[in-house]
Chains A and B, each alone.
Chain A
Amino acid sequence: DAKTTQPPSMDCAEGRAANLPCNHSTISGNEYVYWYRQIHSQGPQYIIHGLKNNETNEMASLIITEDRKSSTLILPHATLRDTAVYYCIVRVHLGGSQGNLIFGKGTKLSVKP
């Protein structure tokens, strides 16, 4: 699987947009970019995923560069409850027997009042 690189930590002011970067320069053409987050004492929570087009859902937006070597997860209006570790993962696909996720250390996002 392609490896990802994320900054170990970031701060964001409450109410402002949080932009979390991820580098995946060795991503293959059929690999998706997935984002999960893990709030303290909870299991990881799926946020969003994409292949090459930008994606948006009720939680966040995912911007993938045209060359697919990097992406940014955007939380448009961060709240204190968004404080968590955010993981960027690349995989061929999630379904079936190839669904194992390989987590790195992620980015610890701290949203401050």
Chain B
Amino acid sequence: GAGVSQSPRYKVAKRGQDVALRCDPISGHVSLFWYQQALGQGPEFLTYFQNEAQLDKSGLPSDRFFAERPEGSVSTLKIQRTQQEDSAVYLCASSTHEAFHGYTFGSGTRLTVV
């Protein structure tokens, strides 16, 4: 597709449930980022991939958060044993290595933990 696709668009999870959020980046984009956006705040960095290599995971808030991009294309962000504080919009972005035209973001997955 022409843009970054994220699914599901909305997810409601019961506290303690595991969730998996999917990101389909623009074809050929080497770099892929995950961000977390709480209500009323700017997006906050979670993790970065260059192809299949996870080069930076300094923003992951706890070991319950795990991201992968096994073939250097689609990425999955997994959250284990969800807590209410995990409720947020999770954004995925991709770019070419040089990122001359900035990053292209998806519309995000809104996760609500009840």
Contacts and interface: CB of A to CB of B under 8 A. Distances in A.
Interface string A69-113: 000000000000000010100000111110111111110000000
A87 B42 contact: yes
B91 A43 contact: yes
B91 A100 contact: no
A30 interface: no
A43 B93 contact: yes
Contact of B99 (A44, A87, A99, A104): A99
A80 B42 CA distance: 22
Given A97-B56, A99-B48, A43 B4 contact: yes
B10 to A, nearest CB: 11
Interface in B77-114: 91, 93, 95-108
Nearest to A96: B97
Given A87-B42, A97-B56, A100-B56, 5 more contacts: A49-B102, A94-B99, A94-B102, A99-B31, A102-B45
A36 B37 CA distance: 15
B48 A97 contact: yes
A43 B42 contact: no
Given A87-B42, A97-B56, A99-B48, A46 B108 contact: no
